[in-house]
Structures are given as C-alpha cells and as structure tokens.
Structure 1
Amino acid sequence: MQKIILLLFIIVFPGACFSQDSLTWVLATTAVKRDGKEIHIGEKVADINFNRILNNNNKRTTLYNFLDKPLIIDFWHQYCTVCVGEFSRLEKLRQRFKDSVNILLVTFQSNTSTNEFFERRKAEGKPVLLPCVTEDTLLRKTFGHEGDPHIVWINTNGTVQAITSHIALNETNLSAWLKHGNIDLAVKSNQRDFDPYKPLLVNNNGGASGAFHYRSVLTGYIDSIPALSLFVRSDDKQTKLAAFNTTIDQLFKDAYAMFDTTAASYLNLDWLNKRVLYEYQDSSTAQYYSDAYDAGYGQLTAFQRNHLYCYELDLPVTFTTQQAAGIMLDELSKLFAIKPFTETRSVTGLALIRTADTDRLKTKGIAATGRIQQDSTMIVKDMPVSALVNVLNLNYYFPLVVDETGYPGNIDITIPLKEKDLHAVETALMNYGLALVPKRYDMPMLVLESFK
C-alpha cells in the first residue's frame, strides 16, 4: 500500500518539484511509513511540538496550545484537489466557530512550498487564514491514515472523539459536538493491506466478506461439495439463489421455472428435462451426465470437470425470488451465450392409453407409494395415473410420456423397468390393459438456443 501511495504522489507532482523541493519528497516518504504509536478514538493524544507553522503568531508551538477550545485537525496537501477545494468551506466554518473551535491544518510539505502555495492563493483572492503545521511526519504517524483530507476531532482534554472524512466536518455536526461535548460519527478507516488487484471482500480485502450489496459467482466443478439443485434462501438482509455442481441446462431450467410461473407448471415436474430443447452447440446436458456416470470413473470425472458449474447470486432482500431468477437468467445468458425462451413446439412422445374394457388398475388401498426399486422394479400403489407417468418419465431413454387414459381413480401397478428396454415395459403394461403409443404433441417447451 505504501508503494501505491508513493506512486500516486509521484504522478501528481510536477516534474520540477523534486529538484526545487526535495525536502517535501523526503518528508512524504517518511510520513507514509507506519512505524509510530497510533492514537484511536477514546485515547488521549500526547503533546507534540510544532517547529514549523504558518498563519500563527508563534512560529513554534505545541498541540496542547490549541486545546483551549475543542480542536479539529485537517490533514491535507496541496496536490490533493479535494483538500484544496475544501478551503473555502473551512474558511466559512472558521468565521462561524472562531470563538468556540480551533481548526488546524497539517501537511507533510515543506514550509517553503506551503508558504508559496498560500501566497498564490492570496494573490488569487482566495487566502488561507487557518494556522497550518508544515513539515509534519509525527502527527500523520500518530493518526495513521490513507488518503487526505483526514479529519480528527479532539476535545479540550486531549481525547480523540472522532476520526472522519471531510464530509462529516460541517456546521450541523460542529454545533452538535459543542452542545453535547461528544459526538458519534462514522469512522473513516483505511485498510492498510488493501490490494485493488485481489478480489474485493475475499479474505477481508476491503472489508468483511458479507459487506457486499450484490454479488454473483460462477465457478466450475468443486469436488469437495455436494451437487445441489437451485435453491432460495431469504433473510432480513439478502435474497440468495444458489446451485452447486450442476449442468448448464439444469441451471437454466430451474431459474426459468422460478421466473415464469406458467412454465413452472410443467418444468417443475419435468425431472429429466424432457420439456427442454437443446439448440446450443456442445450441450452438456443432464442426459450426458447420466451416460458418463454409467461409463465409469474416468468419463464421469472428465464430465464433471468440464461440464458442471456452481452458481450463486446474492441480492438485497428487496428483490423478490422472481426478480432474482430474472437476473440469474440474464447473467447465464451472457456467460454461456444461450438464449432461453418458451415456445410451442411439435415433439414426439408416448401416449399412455387404456386398451382393456375391464378395470385391471383399481387400487386395493394399500399404503400409497410410487418408486423404482433397486432391482429395477417400478411400483405404484394407491396413487393416480399421473404417478405412474412421472415414474416412467424418470427414464432418460424413454420419450416423454403423456397420460391419455382418462382414468379417474387411484391405481396399483408393479412392472419390471429396464433402463433401455422400452419393449419390456410395454409388454408388462399390457397385463394392466395399458399401452404406450407414439404420438406427436404440440406443447410449450423451454428452448435453449445459441446466440446467432
């Protein structure tokens, strides 16, 4: 940080300044080094000798000589445009509070350089009348900071009561300070080890990790955390959306289901994304994830590293879940060059129909269940036909199944379910008076399309 400060100092100095005022350069280099005891709010400052001071009857004096009244110390230098711009406002404050507050300017610049600067201001009709300590390094070390102007508020006992930016130094706050004998103002603090080239708020770089108002993060596969579908967490401060170790299509689908309530009615039940059309190049879909899993460790590991992502979005709590999902979709679109939209498309599916006049489906009322057992047997007990359709649609290798049975009640059905053997499933369904018939459907689909 000291290197950055010195570099900025070099940039703002006129080229001839170093040869004409080498003392200022030496003092600046010394002043920014943090190698002294620093004083903080609530602590008492020691008396300090001032050997160079302008606009004061005595050319040499001490800090305590200014504590006959509450004292404002304003650290500045003439190459700080904000500092110089504050002089007219400080003059008004001096006139308004001259009987009740002392205002002391402090700079590391040489007495000669500062005096010449004040003379130029005077010739321009903008004199600086406040007393100014020059060639200072000790006060700046005592109240270590990064960046001028820097304001310190000290009471008549020598106790530091506030350390603020120049913005806090106004008539309202000065009046309140004098009336109450103390004041609570936002503290100006500068992180010494802040590195602008490192991620903000990571490892407290620039502040605590939770100090952001908005944040989004996209990473690749992280093998040390589990895979989690998109979830929402809201508290009194933030609305968060997050998904971990998931595919591109799953990120889009889950976000779209949150964003579009109409699409949610069919996407939320579409466990294997059969209502999603992939029209982007090199799609790394959940289907391929399943294939990689079946192929063994090597292909699975390669797929995870190349095609899985973690995404997190944090927003102020004023954002609704739907608004957050919209932002997520917009970000994903830009990051992956994919446009998501819903559109009615013609797709090939399987219609589940009844083929028997007798009822072979009616439940016996055993405890409701709908699942696929480890031995690849599908069981649906005392549940509607929709449960059977949902279980059938949990097979990547079957087309989308649509219920056209019109059966009103709950059913009992148990059939073998081989992953890639649709014929075996169709044969088993025949025993229950059911059939799967290929059919074209015009239905709303989520389309993921590459930017053209």
Structure 2
Amino acid sequence: MEHRLLNYKSAKVNLDELQDKVVILDFFDTYCSNCIAAMPKLQKLQDKLGDKLQIIVVTWQDSATITKFFRTNQYLKENKVKLPIIVSDTLLSKLIVHKGLPHVAWLYKNKVAAITFADFSKAEHVERLYQEGKIQLPLKNDFESNEPKTALGWNGAIADKGGSVLTGYSDGVPERGFTIYRDTMGYGTYGTIKNTPILAAYISIYTKIRKPKFLLNKERIAWEVADSSKYSYLSDKLSSREWLLEHGICYERKIMRNVDDAEFSKSALEDLNQLLGLDVYWDERIKDCLELKKLPANKVKRQITISDKNNMKSEDKLPVEGTDVLAFVVDMAKKYPPCIDLAKTDIKMEIGQFRTLEELNQQLATYGLVISKGRRAIEVLVVSKK
C-alpha cells in the first residue's frame, strides 16, 4: 500500500520496500505540543541510525496545512527537522487505532513489532529490534476498559470473597488514580489504582477523604524514607514512562457491601499502608512560606493608577474570588514557597500577570492585601516507613 509523503525522496512510499529497516510510525498533529517537542529528538535518531531506521511521522492533516506549519514553525526550523511526513492519512490510523497522541508503531520485516509510547523511541531499542528481530516495549492501549477487573471476575481471589491485590506495572493498562465502583446489585464496593506512582496513588485516595484547599507542591511533601525516588518521579535520566515501568503500582480492593467513598477510601488507605510497609498521613511541619495577609487600615494604598488600569486590558486579568483561591494561584506559579491564606476573605479581585512578588503586591494593595515571606507550621503529607 502506498502513502503520500512530504520531505521524502519520492512523493509516495510503499512500506513493503522498507522491510529491511526498522520503521517507526509516529502519529501526530499540529495541535499536539508533545508531538512537536519530540521531533528534534526523532530527527537526531534518524540521522544517527539512517542505515537501519526510517522514521515517518503520520498525520490526518492535509499537505497545505503541514507544509505551512513546518515552513513557519521556528522551533522545527532551528532544529532542522525534515522527517518524512505521511499527510491526509485515513488508512494507517484505521489499522493502528488510537485516541491519544503521540502514538507510535514499530514495524520490522513487514510486521508490527510494538505499539508503544514516544518515550521509547531510542537508539538502544532500534538496535535491539534490528539485531534480534523482536522487541518488548510497553503497550500503549487507548481502549482499556475503565471497569474494575475484579467486577469482571478477572481476579477470582477477591471477586467472590473480597480482599485486595497489589502488583507492579501492568502492560497495556492506562494510568488511572484511585477510582471507586459499586456493584449495581449491591454486592460490593470496588476500588482500583492503575499504573500509578506510589505517592500519586496515596494522593488520589486522600482526595476522596478530604480534598486539600491548596496545591500539593513538593514543599508540602515530608519524606521520611531512605529513597524518595521509589515513590515519586524525580529522575533526570529516565522519562516518566520508563520510570513507571519499574516503580508504578496497580491495586485492587473489594468490600462485600456498598459503603460511601470516604469509608471505602479510609479502608484502602490502611490497606495500602500495610501492603507497602508505609505510614502516609497529614501533619504539620515548620516551613518557609509566603503569608497572605490583610494590610493594616493605615497602610492601604491604591497603587494602580488610572493609566495603569487603562493599559491593563480586562482579558489580561484573571478573576479571583477569595484569598484562598489567590493563594492557590500563587502556588500554581511554582516559583515560591507555599502560600498560606491568613486573610481568609471572599473578596473578588482581578489579578494581572506578575513576574515578581513586588509586582503582585502592587496589585494586591488595591484590595488591602499583601504577601510577605514567613516561616510557620503548615500542613504537609508525610511519607514514612513503618
């Protein structure tokens, strides 16, 4: 079967003609930022292993759209990306069915060798497939059922009598935090965690017990374990997907009666602590922080002038209702210590972009508020060994 190409030695390619090379089909579109960000890496891989490898990126978009995009995208031009592109694809996407992008298919000797994630497009995997004729990479499956396997009778050990099972990474299963299901006949409550880091698993359970009113950034995690890299992705050498292969967990639990989310989640929390030999709980620790306070009445200043207001368009402002939401917005910047709301007011504000706390405080003064550095006891999630 022939496919129309751009950036190739001919306008069409028959994949049968490439069977002596490893062929990587990388499905993308111009709306997928991760797809575009990965293309320089793919180009380097192609340049390095061109005698053994042919990378072809595949899109449903038409030739005119793609030609203009590659001609005008400065990032791709700077990185000299000139990968062959199958455009207006309608056939391959039906043969290699997917929902999420990027989506990667590996072919060799005219056979599909792997359907996997973009993280694994690396030289060592190409060499292994080329030399050995086969390869085992994690399966990317966009159509895994969300139903708990216990409910379908997959795990007979707990389907009929209840209990729990903890395993490692499960191939072909999409990541999913703690999810609760109930038997429609009233015979039990099920909970599942799929291919999730241990810390993320605990957080997803806790959100069903008590949702925090702040962003749970790294300063709010108190590690009391020998090696925190086993529990949360902190690697600068592996992609998150590669790390998950070794450290991700799957968990299933069933109680033989219908209970509410909070009760079931508490039982799952105790169960996971027991299975992993951990104690994960909320506590307070003394930490550097930002304190959001009300200004004293005699210090309130209106520092935004009429001209400032005219220069700041309404669409450039973020409507914020309450100081608790403002503290969350500051935490979202990920540039500062945790922001603690001491003002506790539901005042409505409009906050423009800010690069520094000084710029933010100029805006907050209008509302009688100020943010300053402090140190106090704040809520943290403690992760400790039993």
TM-score, length-scaled by structure 2 = 0.47
- Structure whose CA Rg is larger: 1
TM-score, length-scaled by structure 1 = 0.41
